[in-house]
Amino acid sequence: MLYTILILTLTAGSVLGQSCCSGGAPLSGNLGLPMVDGRQVQFSISYDLNKLNTLKSGTETLDDNTRTRTTHTALFQAGYNIDKHWSFEILLPYVQQEREVSPLGLGSTVEITNGIGDIVFLSKYRFLNHFQAGLGVKFPTGSSDETTSRGILLNADMQP
């Protein structure tokens, strides 16, 4: 187990993942099924909806009603508790993003992307019956080469 953690930690820098944007599901907030005693399997299915329609620069709200984005995320989690101290889980998201851009005086365009997002594996250790420490790996399995209807590569925030 220790060798696996060490190998994953040392090779994590060579994996080309991309950062999460504010339009997607906050994966870190959805991690962490409750730890239970004994050998038990847990499952969780949830849905997250994000609608972005306000543009801000710092604390200033910009008067720009030309774009909106909606993100639908279905999250599937499965976990296994080995004993009262160790547990492992996986988080698998399915993401659909819709962006509508309506430049002033021009017709609107809608771009839609969907697919499996980045998969997260997490191991946790409970100590002193009240504290937990976890270590996880995020695998960039989501698409990063989605294009517009005109063949232009979409920004990272529109990739699943």
pLDDT of 5? 60
pLDDT of 89? 92
pLDDT of 13? 56
Listed in sequence order, the DSSP H helices in the chain are 2-11, 27-30
pLDDT in tens, 47-69: 988 888 777 777 887 776 777 88
pLDDT of 78? 94
∠ Cα 110 113 117 (to 5°): 150
Instruction: List the domain range (segments joined by +) for residue 59.
Output: 2-158
Number of domains in the chain: 1
Residue ranges in the chain modelled with pLDDT below 50? 17-23
pLDDT of 35? 77
pLDDT of 1? 59
* Region of residue 128 (left: phi > 0; alpha: psi -120 to 50; beta: else): left
**Cβ neighbours for 72, distance < 8 A, ≥ 6 positions apart:** 47, 48, 49, 95, 96, 97
- Report the alpha-carbon distance of residue 90 to residue 81 in Å, rounded: 12
- pTM above 0.75? no
3-state secondary structure of 158: helix
pLDDT in tens, 92-105: 989 888 888 777 76
Query: What burial letters (b/e) apply to 45-65, b meaning 16+ CB within 10 Å?
Result: eeebebeeeeeeeeeeeeeee
